[in-house]
Amino acid sequence: MKKKIVSTLLCAAICLASLAGCGGGAQGGQDTASNAPAGTSVETADGQTETAADQAASGEKITLEFWNVFTGSDGDILRQIVDNYNSINTDNIEIQMDIMPNDQLQQKLPAAIATGTAPDIVLFGVENLAPYVSNDSLEDISDFWEVTGVDKSNILDNVLELSHVNGKLYGTPMQYNVTYLYWNKDLFRDAGLDPEKAPETLDELAEYAEKLTDPSKNQFGLALPTNVTYMQFLWANGGDADDPETNRNLLDSKENLKTLEWLQDLTVNKKVSPSSITGPEADTMLQAGQIGMYMSGPWQINGLRTQGIDFGIAPCVAGSAGAFSPAGGCSYVIPKGVDEEHRLAAYKFMQYWLTDDILKEWSQKNGFPVWSKTLMEDSEIQNDEVLNSISKATEIGRPYNLGYSLASQIDKDVMIPLFETVMTGAATPEEALKKASQAMDGVLAQ
């Protein structure tokens, strides 16, 4: 019997070991990733001693480690800007950039901060600020404006606000975006719709989507991925998910029910969207010209241009309460524990990013909206067709649970399952809403 227990324990241990092996493998991969820049920094240190005499005059070289999540084509443009900064800056700063998927960054960064091996600059989505700040893992950089002399009044308030948590500045804005409505003009023409006029209301959106759907051509009117949230629809009819200020659950409302019924009709009865697709799949189909309309961020623009799709960009549609669009963005942050010297060097790079030349390059190349007031007056920017339509769509931006530490859990446990259940027809909107509301209570009670 004893033997049995021991062997059972061993078996179970082996099973857990392979579990650990799983995590270990991933971590091993990360180690090599983080070793690479570490290795190179040693090399530079060596190089430095060799040329110590030359360097003595201009001060010591400062190497900044910079992590970000720009795995797409925008990452290449970011790399160009950073490389250029490395060659032109006069402060002897060298930035070593490490791009990784968001999942990986979220696994590595907290551990790196806890063990004092964090990078000097991190660039990530502003939705991450709150959880990191509530765990005291980011540096308060409220003195940024004073130290660098950057004029903060030149930046739009709503953009600046995204980098604040509890009134303190934890990051500097890098880009700002809301969700737009993209439409394929060729498909509009084929369906007998005016290619220059995007739908403006929920009803129009539904009507257009139905007209644009043609199963025989594997063509869909409106792509609605199931792994994201659709706050723009809930808001349009005056509904909402929760109130971060008071921790209140706002899900169970007549307005939300009405919106969800409309959404289920659209997906289950009218079948205007490919069933259960993910965001990246929808991106691919949009670029392949199989999608009439799609709601997404500015990052679609480059792909659509490359594929030669004739597309338009419009604001999200309005409902009975108006039109809104969930806002987001990315900020440069400094992890806790970075020393004064590196912090000031990081400030210099952040300052460089906030110059109009760089912001202009970024906006023009990637199609991100402009939020520097002086740059908005720029004639080239004003004559850019894409940027023009974007700035209109950007006006209706509305923050959704930004700065709320439960935001990611609310999305994962409540909102995404709610939309997915409704859109796949797995339950009636009423049941789905009731269940989601209970789940929301559970999350908010934490």
Partner 1 sequence: MEKNKGKRKKYVAHNQKCAYLFLLPSMFILSVFVFVPLIASFVISITNMNIFMKDVSFAGLKNFIQLFKDSRVSNATFNSLYFTLLEVPLQIGLALLMTVCLAKNNRYCKLLRSIYYLPFVCSMTAIGIVWSMLLDPNMGLFAYWLKQAGFDTIAFLKDPKWAMPTVIAVTAWKGFGYTLTLMAAAVLNIPQSLYEAADMDGAGGFQKFIHITIPGIWSTISFCIVTSTIGAMQMFDQAYVMTQGGPLNKTETVVQYIYDRGFQTAPYNLGYASAISVYLFVIVAVMTLVLRKFVLNRGEGADE
Q: How far is the CB of 23 from partner 1 (least distance, A)?
A: 8
List of E strands, 44-129: 62-68, 93-99, 121-125
Residue with Cβ nearer partner 1 (352 or 400):
400
User: Closest approach of Cβ 10 to partner 1, in Å?
Assistant: 9
CB of 77 to partner 1, least distance (A): 27
Question: Length of the chain, please?
Answer: 446
Nearer to partner 1, 19 or 45 (CB): 19
Separation between Cα atoms, residue 167 and residue 161, nearest integer Å:
9
Q: What token pair was written down for 183?
A: 């439409």
Residue 274: CA atoms inside 13 Å, Cβ hemisphere, count? Answer: 22
- 3-class DSSP assignment, residue 190: helix
Closest approach of partner 1 to the CB of residue 132, in Å? 8
Q: Which is nearer to partner 1, 21 or 39 (CB)?
A: 21
Instruction: Report the distance separating Cα 422 and Cα 273, nearest Å.
Output: 13
Task: Answer yes or no: are the C-beta atoms of 125 and 162 closer than 8 Å.
Answer: no
Q: Which residues bind partner 1 (CB under 8 A)?
A: 3-4, 7-9, 11-22, 24, 103, 106-107, 110-111, 113-114, 128, 131-132, 134-137, 218, 226-227, 274-278, 281, 284-285, 288, 290, 405-409, 412-413, 417, 420-421, 424, 426
Find the largest Cα–Cα distance for the chain: 84
Q: Which is nearer to partner 1, 4 or 339 (CB)?
A: 4
Q: How far is the CB of 325 from partner 1 (least distance, A)?
A: 23
Name residue, tokens 């995404």. 416
| In the complex, least distance from residue 228 CB atom to partner 1, rounded to whole angstroms | 12
Nearer to partner 1, 147 or 426 (CB): 426
Q: Rounded CA gap, 241 and 51, in Å?
A: 60
Q: In angstroms, how far is CA 200 from the centroid of its own chain?
A: 25
Choice between 97 and 282, CB closer to partner 1: 282
Of the pair 315, 399, the CB lying nearest partner 1 is at: 399
Least distance between partner 1 and beta carbon 226 (Å): 7
Q: Where are the alpha helices (DSSP H) in 231-298?
A: 231-236, 254-264, 279-287
CB of 264 to partner 1, least distance (A): 14
Distance of closest approach, residue 426 Cβ to partner 1, in angstroms:
6
Question: How far from 357 is each of 145, 250, 309, 363, 374, CA to CA, in Å?
Answer: 19, 43, 29, 10, 11
Contact at 8 Å (CB) between 419 and 230? yes
Burial group, residue 267, by CB count within 10 angstroms (0-12, 13-18, 19+): buried
Instruction: Give min distance, CB of 397 to partner 1, in A.
Output: 22
Here the tokens at position 397 are 């931006």
Using the structure block, give the residue that is written with the tokens 């257009």: 208
Q: Which is nearer to partner 1, 154 or 227 (CB)?
A: 227
Task: List the structure tokens of 160.
Answer: 């600046």
Closer residue to partner 1, CB minimum distance, 255 or 411: 411
Evaluate whether 288 touches 280 at the Cβ level (below 8 Å).
Answer: no
Q: What is the DSSP letter of 248?
A: E
Which of 380, 431 has the CB closer to partner 1?
A: 431
Task: Give Cα 376 distance to the centre of its chain.
Answer: 23
